[in-house]
Amino acid sequence: MVSTLTIGAILTLLAWVGLQVAVIHGKYVVDSIAAGEYQKGPFSEATGGGSDE
Amino acid sequence: MSDDEGLPGHSHNEDLARDLSVFDITMIGIGAMIGAGIFVLTGLAAGQAGPGLVMAFAFNGFITIFTGMVYAELGSAIPEAGGGYLWVREALGRSQAFLAGWMSWFAHAVAGSLYTLGFGAFVHLLLTDYFGIALFEPVDLFLLTIGPEKVFAVFAGALFAYINFRGAKETGLAGNIVTMVKVTVIVILIAFGLGYIFGNPAEASDRFQPFLPRDFGGVFIAMGLTFIAFEGYEIIVQSGEEVVNPKKSVPKAVFYSMSVVVTIYMLVAIVLIGAVTVTPDLFQLAQEGAASGAHGATNLPPVPDNIEDAAVWEILGHLGELGLARAAGQIMPYGTVVILVAGIFSTLSALNATTYSSTRVSFAMGRDHVLPDAFSAVHDEKRTPHIATALSGALIVFMAVALPIEAVAAATDVMFLLLFLQVNYAAIVIRREWGDQIDYGYVMPYFPYVPIIGIITKLALAVYLFNYSPLAWYGAIAWILVGVGIFFLYSRSRVRETEAKEETRLITEERAPEQRGYQVLVPIANPDHAEQLIRAGSAVARHQDGEVLLTSVATVPEQTPLSEGRRYADEQRELLDEAMQYAPDDVPVHQTVTIGHDIAKSINNVAYQRDSDLVLLGWRGQRKHVSDYALGSNIDTVVENAECDVAVLKTDGTTDSSRVLVPTAGGPNSDLAETVAAAYAGSGAEVTLFHVATDGDVDGDRSFLENRQEVLAESDIDVDIAVAEAGDITQTILDHARDGEFDSIIIGAAGEGILRRVLFGEIPETIGEEFEGEVLMVRKHRPVQSAVKRLLGKWVGKGAKATNLGE
């Protein structure tokens, strides 16, 4: 049987990885918007681009 | 902020120097998050979560990033000082902004109380243990126990209130240095701790078992308790006006600081649990802490009797705010002293920041006229908001003295969590309503699920904190209730005045020589209907010994500032000049031209500003069967939001009403219809009160009408009465009006729903549409019912509207 410690460690790691993924994605979105390459935003509706997601 | 426009064109008058880089504001965020929280709260949180403290920090980081994304998006789009308060004000209106500001003031002040208490505890320990200075024993004073820590806390609170009054503030460079020192100390602590753990892996890993000694409940409480440590993004966005390229810098700083800080917190937790041994000294200190109850021991399991049975986390919990400092003595040389000194600097810099923030929030609320003007008073010599500073300082000191430290921490967290709820909601509204007009530097993915998850998680954490400290929630609720009371008794009318001024500008005004108390406001848009409207409005005004105010609204697009719109007003001025030919000689008639972005709002604003008693609107007689509106967008909006009686006149071109039918069933709206009918009677019309008996009690209904007839007769108004027995009220009224050759029907609103969109009701509106002559529908203003409806509309309807817009 898997111990509470193992489950806790996995959940902790997942939460931390989730946070880091959000951070890396955030940096990517910021750089993409600055470069004019990001189309998935509300601004794209006005310019005839894609949807929110 | 006093601009007229919505969010997209947001601007401010003062430009600050843009000299902060991504690194600078990342350090500001890290400084705020690796501030006093880690020094003060880690021990308390360890006592709740056990080794699961590591998980609590990771989870906190994970759920905080949802709100972090919201802050990154809004901070990149609207990089202005004001942060959450500003966004809530722009998106949800000033009433919600009042609540946001009120909570923000309290949250920052109570955070200041937490830091003063941390400072007091650190200084006390340093003086007694390391300098051997004997201090007095705690004394009971009424309901409070005042020890040396509290005295130091009061001193710090008062000192920093004074420093803020003097206007001294931390420079960017000094702030960076303090942050670097704090982070360096923590990193050294982590390095020593990890060195021990890697050197003794078996021993260290044993200390992590059981991992969740108090189950997930303890983890959730620890999350709520330490949440304040992760609110650095609020401070990052506050510096948005001073950042080079804020569209890129602000969101990046939010993300970088979160990544670094959560990692550091987790490592500190790992080190704290894994590298600390329960020594006899620590055991004894924990027992003393538990016995004195000084560190929130009432919320912790008791210290085991034998040292062999005691886990590190239990000991840390009972050491409370001194947990990290005591443990650091084992982890690295001079650890306790180093952590105490670093903790003292951290708490003081955090106290300075929170005193500054709470002062600025209350100052901003004073400047927005939602708190008394004294809050926005600036000292002549020091140029600082001295009254806001003094009151914020008093709040900080009072909370520090009145509450135990764990309750102060929980109260701070509850307030910040509730504040973030509003900000998440504001983000949804802003994206829905202005998303396509805003120049974003970052957009969150999976909108609106990200802010919705933010709302749910924050709410859950806040609610769960009740288990930890009901006192914190009682304090928070009491503060909110006091705020609601102040809002309704004081702020609401001032908010309304400010809104009216911002939404509507007066262009010209021509006053009749005479002024009277009762006022009928008659908006004129179509010259063809002016005569009929002025005739009806004058009749009511004459009957009430009042006056008429004619108004015409020029509208400009949302993007055009009102100050630029004067040139659009000439047409309106001519319209009113022409309409004045229908003004009677015996009733004073004033005229005013206003300009606004929205006709209906402007009409209501004029009615509010001029204290009108009745608004009389013209209607073409066509109902909107397919749209969301009953009679038309402008009429619906005016009627629903009017702060006085309102009447809608079907403008069929009738210039004379000689026979008037008044269907009545009693109630305030019918009473108003009778009053208006009496005004018509005073102008020479024959009036008939009419009732449709649907229950067969013709005699009873006739008696009711006779009663009304007698009441009017007492005012020398003679009216006829008629009763008809029928099942279809609408058709019976129409038939009676046609058969009796009536020119006009005056009818009161049939009912008012709280949630349903009901303007005048099905019967009056059908009659209005189908009757060939003039129809006047009236609705009495009922302040309480209207207030409830408006409140529901603001809190529920706005979101619903926003959601519809996005579909």
In degrees and rounded to multiples of 5, residue B508 shows phi and psi of -140, 160
Which one-letter amino acid corresponds to residue B763? I
Which one-letter amino acid corresponds to residue B139? V
List chain B residues with pLDDT less than 50. Answer: 1-15, 297, 752-757, 796-807
User: Which residue of A23, A39, A43, A53 is the best one to mutate when testing the B interface, meaning the one whose CB has the most B CBs within 10 A?
Assistant: A23
pLDDT at position B292 is 64
**Among the partner residues A8, A19, A26, nearest to B55 by beta-carbon distance:** A8
- The answer to whether A37 faces chain B, any CB pair under 8 Å, is no
The conformational region for residue B568 under phi > 0 = left, psi -120 to 50 = alpha, else beta, is alpha
The span from the CA of B425 to the CA of B251, in Å, is 19
The span from the CA of B63 to the CA of B129, in Å, is 39
The conformational region for residue B686 under phi > 0 = left, psi -120 to 50 = alpha, else beta, is beta
B521 Cβ contact partners less than 8 Å away, ≥ 6 residues apart: B548, B549, B551, B603, B606, B607, B610, B612, B614, B615, B616, B644
- Are A23 and B76 within 8 A, CB to CB? no
- The answer to whether B254 faces chain A, any CB pair under 8 Å, is yes
**Among the partner residues B51, B251, B262, nearest to A26 by beta-carbon distance:** B251
Walk me through the domains of chain B, giving residue ranges and CATH numbers. Answer: 17-169+212-260+351-468 (1.20.1740.10), 502-652 (3.40.50.620), 656-807 (3.40.50.620)
- Are A25 and B445 within 8 A, CB to CB? yes
Residue in the structure block whose two tokens are 């009491």:
B478
Task: Find out whether B24 and B245 touch, Cβ atoms under 8 Å.
Answer: no
Closest among B298, B228, B264 to B48, alpha carbons compared: B298
Q: Is the peptide bond before B210 cis (omega within 30 degrees of 0)?
A: yes
- The answer to whether A28 faces chain B, any CB pair under 8 Å, is no
- What is the number of H-type helices and E-type strands within chain B? 30, 13
Provide the 8-state DSSP code for B581. Answer: G
pLDDT at position B449 is 94
- Of all residues in chain B, the percent with pLDDT exceeding 70 is 89
As beta bridge partners, residue B547 has B519
Task: Find out whether B34 and B182 touch, Cβ atoms under 8 Å.
Answer: yes
Residue of chain A whose alpha carbon sits nearest to that of B245: A34
Task: Find out whether B593 and B554 touch, Cβ atoms under 8 Å.
Answer: yes
Task: Write the secondary structure of B394-430 as one string of H (helix), E (strand) and C (coil).
Answer: HHHHHHHHHCCHHHHHHHHHHHHHHHHHHHHHHHHHH
* Cβ-Cβ contacts under 8 Å, A36 against chain B: none
pLDDT tens for each residue of A7-53:
999 999 999 999 999 999 999 999 999 998 888 777 644 443 333 33
Length of chain B: 807
Query: Half-sphere exposure of B576 toward its Cβ, with a 13 Å CA cutoff?
Result: 24
pLDDT tens for each residue of B65-114:
999 999 999 999 887 766 787 888 888 887 788 888 898 888 888 888 98
In degrees and rounded to multiples of 5, residue B590 shows phi and psi of -100, 160
Closest among A47, A38, A17 to B76, alpha carbons compared: A38
- The answer to whether B641 faces chain A, any CB pair under 8 Å, is no
- Are B262 and A27 within 8 A, CB to CB? no
- The answer to whether B216 faces chain A, any CB pair under 8 Å, is no
- The answer to whether B72 faces chain A, any CB pair under 8 Å, is yes
User: Beta-carbon neighbour count of residue B800 at 10 Å?
Assistant: 10
Helix (H) or strand (E) holding B449: helix B449-468
Residue in the structure block whose two tokens are 């004067």:
B566
B16 Cβ contact partners less than 8 Å away, ≥ 6 residues apart: B241, B242
Query: Half-sphere exposure of B117 toward its Cβ, with a 13 Å CA cutoff?
Result: 30
Cα angle at B261 between B215 and A41, to 5 degrees?
Answer: 100
The span from the CA of B724 to the CA of B703, in Å, is 13
**Among the partner residues A8, A13, A41, nearest to B52 by beta-carbon distance:** A8
B525: three-class secondary structure by DSSP: coil
- The answer to whether A8 faces chain B, any CB pair under 8 Å, is yes
pLDDT tens for each residue of B562-609:
777 677 778 888 888 888 888 898 899 998 988 888 888 889 888 888
* Cβ-Cβ contacts under 8 Å, A22 against chain B: 65, 68-69, 255
* Cβ-Cβ contacts under 8 Å, A4 against chain B: 209-212
User: Over chain B, what is the mean pLDDT?
Assistant: 83
- Are A8 and B435 within 8 A, CB to CB? no
Asked if the interface predicted TM-score (ipTM) of this complex is over 0.90, the answer is no
- The answer to whether B252 faces chain A, any CB pair under 8 Å, is yes
Residue in the structure block whose two tokens are 């509003």:
B422
* Cβ-Cβ contacts under 8 Å, B441 against chain A: 30, 33-34
Length of chain A: 53
The span from the CA of B36 to the CA of B229, in Å, is 8
- The answer to whether A35 faces chain B, any CB pair under 8 Å, is no
The conformational region for residue B215 under phi > 0 = left, psi -120 to 50 = alpha, else beta, is left
pLDDT at position B4 is 39
Q: For the sheet containing B547-555, what is the strand order?
A: B504-510, B589-596, B547-555, B519-523, B614-619, B645-650, B774-779, B744-748, B659-663, B686-693, B719-725
Residue of chain B whose alpha carbon sits nearest to that of A48: B436
- Are A33 and B441 within 8 A, CB to CB? yes
**Among the partner residues B58, B431, B437, nearest to A12 by beta-carbon distance:** B58
- The answer to whether B492 faces chain A, any CB pair under 8 Å, is no
**Among the partner residues A15, A26, A41, nearest to B62 by beta-carbon distance:** A15
